[in-house]
Amino acid sequence: MRAAAMARPSAIICDDAYLAFARLTQWWAARIRPASPAGIHPSAVVDPTAHVDPSATVSALSVIGPAATIAAHAVIGSHCVVERGASVGAGTVLKPRVVLGENCSIGSRCIVHSGAVIGADGFGFAPSQGRWEKIEQLGAVRIGDDVEIGANSCVDRGALDDTVLADGVKLDNLVQIAHNVQVGANTAMAGCVGIAGSARIGANCTIGGGAIVLGHLELVDDVHVSAATVISRSILKPGQYSGVFPFDDNAAWEKNAATLRQLHALRDRLRAMEKKIA
Amino acid sequence: MRAAAMARPSAIICDDAYLAFARLTQWWAARIRPASPAGIHPSAVVDPTAHVDPSATVSALSVIGPAATIAAHAVIGSHCVVERGASVGAGTVLKPRVVLGENCSIGSRCIVHSGAVIGADGFGFAPSQGRWEKIEQLGAVRIGDDVEIGANSCVDRGALDDTVLADGVKLDNLVQIAHNVQVGANTAMAGCVGIAGSARIGANCTIGGGAIVLGHLELVDDVHVSAATVISRSILKPGQYSGVFPFDDNAAWEKNAATLRQLHALRDRLRAMEKKIA
Amino acid sequence: MRAAAMARPSAIICDDAYLAFARLTQWWAARIRPASPAGIHPSAVVDPTAHVDPSATVSALSVIGPAATIAAHAVIGSHCVVERGASVGAGTVLKPRVVLGENCSIGSRCIVHSGAVIGADGFGFAPSQGRWEKIEQLGAVRIGDDVEIGANSCVDRGALDDTVLADGVKLDNLVQIAHNVQVGANTAMAGCVGIAGSARIGANCTIGGGAIVLGHLELVDDVHVSAATVISRSILKPGQYSGVFPFDDNAAWEKNAATLRQLHALRDRLRAMEKKIA
């Protein structure tokens, strides 16, 4: 996802070599790959009351009725499950083995890769006498246009309100989006990211692989989180944020890690010395 | 999962507002959602020798024979796979696309969300002349009553003994439970947690999202692990445990992280100074 | 995966007790488990032009034509999806609910556990006027012989070249292998590992659970990465590498973590004192 900075001045034939490369791959894919035929694979399990809407647009789909609605130019792959009240926009492709749960909607021109689960229950329980009482998850998932969701990723339904992915969001594989999360337009998350419940991520953010955002936090637009960083408080200023223990050979790490557990005490000793000298 | 601390004194109408909220969602869900009809969806692949047991209770199910046993009031969703010798208790719901492997058992009133895989082989190999020799995983998975397992989570079968989740355990999405792990009653784990082989987690624990527990460790009851923390030795005392590198803007993090790699040396320099002054 | 160091001298009856144990489990499994019958489960969705090749060997399979090729002694489990141009070697078992995408090949005697997705699109986009333009992923996935891939793991197809897992690679559950990654022979990765795009991992490496390797890095042969470690630069020397924040009770961690954010400043204060004294 970094721009290829390889074009020498004499070779520049377009403003953005990386974008040109993307376009070239699209042109090539269109030539060599037969398009998946629009329609519902016979092995998919679609709510029996679903109807295919030849004129379905995103706005039309936003009114969700009891029956599932699938745009005429959508592709529902093999072994997919589309539950009642769900809607799928025009040109959207559900690859094999995607689950789109009850009342969840996905816009136009999206791609959902195999194994993704959209609309499982959010993880909500109330403690009650040492046990957990289930909080039924009554919301759904609303996904905009031009969204891509990676293989085996999960987007949970909201508790009362919906979980929302805005237009142009891109999620890699094995990403977990908890209930009531809101992700702004064109934000991209690499593999193995986890976003905890009710977090609000702004637009045009990037979240590096394996990063975690804790629940109920806010990240404003244009925040960039480095891989494997744990975001434990809201970020209200755009920028790049990091927090990873630097790896080392094992022996060096062990010594530094052991010392780290005395760091606060070291600081106190340093202070004491500073006073003594002063 | 934190109690909603919003009820002002004058508004308290029940001992526990959060629990009341849970009950309200359950009442509402029962009204608006048609219950999944008990039974096996036609697209599910169930061991052909399986029999539906109208009187199945958990204790009856604990004796596993060669045929799968499914309680009369269980729901086996679309595209599920239930292998031979598996058993499913009364009132348990396997959402679409769940795999319940050979000889694995799950108790009553459980919910297993889409994509979960119960009973894949544990990850066991013996090194042999630079290659890995497979250790066949001969145990199974035993899951108690009132357990919930999130979407795309994995619970591996044991090597010799079984992997065990006790009653009331709640697992979020994309959780990995390795072979021979034992999880005590009512312990809850948030998304993306990984528990390595043969770890024993006590009852009433909570494990935050993205945390890792290494293999062969013991955590006693009432241990609470913060999100993204790596537990690298046993915890024999109840309490809250944490271990996360605090994130910062990238420039600040880089400076601190670089210094961290010299921390042990810094401690030695501090000691040397202390001696000099004393 | 550590050798069982329990055999006392008087009890040694073989050079390697752990290997003997592995062999014993294999012998036992062969006795108690009926072998999965070779062939394609009726619920699997296999490219309609696929042909079963009774003489298929790995080298024969390496020439991929437009039709899928499945060796006569392979097992394609229930609800699997094998797309056009894919190939499956002799003795390989796809457990239920595996996706093997277009043109992806897997060698002989492999095991792929349920929910694994081989050949989803790599995560590649070019930025364009604040949005993301998709880079079509034109490569495939090539997997050698004797490879095991865990439940719900993902191996993405390459952008132009292929993603490659060499012979004898073992991946645990919920592992993410991004596009164009190359993994050398007999390298093993525990659960929840993420390998970012174009990383090259050598042979005979072990990667601990939850570890992350960033993109475009190289790890030479015989590198061992501890659990939950983030590898952020290439490793050109064999050895054990670690980088984890040591956990502590929450109060102690908070103090040390807070101080860690001033570590660079502490170093400067220490330096200043050293100068003063000298």
Task: Identify which of A29, A115, A254 has the shortest CB distance to residue C152.
Answer: A115
B157 and B272, same structural domain? no
Residues of C within 8 A of B179 (CB-CB) are none
B157 and B106, same structural domain? yes
Asked if residue C152 belongs to a domain, the reply is yes
Residues of C within 8 A of B230 (CB-CB) are 210, 227-228, 244-245, 247
B3 and B124, same structural domain? no
pLDDT of residue C15: 61
pLDDT of residue C89: 94
Per residue in B218-256, pLDDT tens?
999 999 999 999 999 999 999 999 999 999 999 999 999
Range of weakest confidence among A37-51, A108-122, B264-278:
A37-51
B91 and B44, same structural domain? yes
Average pLDDT over residues A86-106: 96
Average pLDDT over residues A117-132: 95
Alpha-carbon span A251 to A172, nearest angstrom: 34
Alpha-carbon span B155 to B117, nearest angstrom: 6
pLDDT at A58 over 80: no
Please, which residues bridge with residue C188 across strands? C170, C206
Average pLDDT over residues B3-27: 64
Output C57 or A153, whichever has higher pLDDT. A153
pLDDT per residue of chain C (278 residues) written in tens, 0 to 9: 333 333 233 444 556 788 888 999 999 988 888 777 789 999 999 988 777 776 654 343 344 456 789 998 899 999 999 999 999 999 999 999 999 999 999 999 999 999 999 999 999 999 999 999 999 999 999 999 999 999 999 999 999 999 999 999 999 999 999 999 999 999 999 999 999 999 999 999 999 999 999 999 999 999 999 999 999 999 999 999 999 999 999 999 999 999 999 999 999 999 999 998 87
Contact partners, residue A187, CB within 8 Å, separation at least 6: A166, A169, A170, A201, A202, A203, A204, A205, A206, A207
Rounded to a whole number of angstroms, the CA Rg of chain B reads 23
Residues of C within 8 A of A260 (CB-CB) are 245-246, 256, 260
Asked if residue C258 belongs to a domain, the reply is yes
C268 and C193, same structural domain? no
The confidence band for A14, taking pLDDT boundaries of 50, 70 and 90, is low
Asked if residue C58 belongs to a domain, the reply is yes
Q: What percent of chain A has pLDDT over 90?
A: 76
pLDDT of residue A16: 80
Predicted TM-score (pTM) of the model is: 0.93
pLDDT at B62 over 50: no
B132 and B270, same structural domain? no
Please, which residues bridge with residue B242 across strands? C248
DSSP-derived 3-state class of residue C105 = strand
A221 and chain C: CB distance < 8 Å anywhere? no
Q: Which residues of B233-257 are buried (b: 16+ CB within 10 A; e: fewer)?
A: eebeeeebbbbbbbbbebebbebbb
Per residue in A179-191, pLDDT tens?
999 999 999 999 9
pLDDT of residue C63: 41
The confidence band for A136, taking pLDDT boundaries of 50, 70 and 90, is very high
Could you tell me which chain C residue has the CA closest to the CA of A110? Answer: C134
B260 and B125, same structural domain? no
Domain containing A2 equals: 1-33
Secondary structure in 3-state letters for A72-130: CCCEECCCCEECCCCEECCCCEECCCCEECCCCEECCCCEECCCCEECCCCCCEEEECC
Q: Which residues of A66-83 are buried (b: 16+ CB within 10 A; e: fewer)?
A: eebbbbebbbbbbbbbbb
ipTM of the complex: 0.91
How many Å lie between the alpha carbon of B224 and the closest alpha carbon of chain C? 10
Per residue in B64-107, pLDDT tens?
456 788 998 899 999 999 999 999 999 999 999 999 999 999 99
Asked if residue C31 belongs to a domain, the reply is no
Average pLDDT over residues A143-167: 97
Q: Which amino acid is at C204?
A: N
Asked if residue C182 belongs to a domain, the reply is yes
B84 and B27, same structural domain? no
- The closest alpha carbon to C208, from A15, B215, A124, belongs to B215
Q: Which helix (H) or strand (E) holds A189?
A: strand A188-189
| pLDDT, averaged across chain B | 89
Name the catalytic one among C41, C179, C216, C224.
Answer: C179
pLDDT of residue C257: 97
Yes or no: say if A74 and A93 are a contact pair by the CB < 8 Å rule: yes
C256 and C191, same structural domain? no
A262 and A237, same structural domain? no
Q: What is the DSSP letter of C11?
A: G
The count of structural domains within chain B is: 3
pLDDT of residue A2: 34
Q: Domain of A123: which CATH number?
A: 2.160.10.10
The confidence band for B60, taking pLDDT boundaries of 50, 70 and 90, is very low
Per residue in A17-35, pLDDT tens?
888 889 999 999 888 887 7
pLDDT of residue C68: 84
The confidence band for A36, taking pLDDT boundaries of 50, 70 and 90, is confident
How many Å lie between the alpha carbon of A87 and the closest alpha carbon of chain C? 23
B273 and B135, same structural domain? no
C105 and C90, same structural domain? yes
pLDDT of residue A63: 41
C130 and chain A: CB distance < 8 Å anywhere? yes
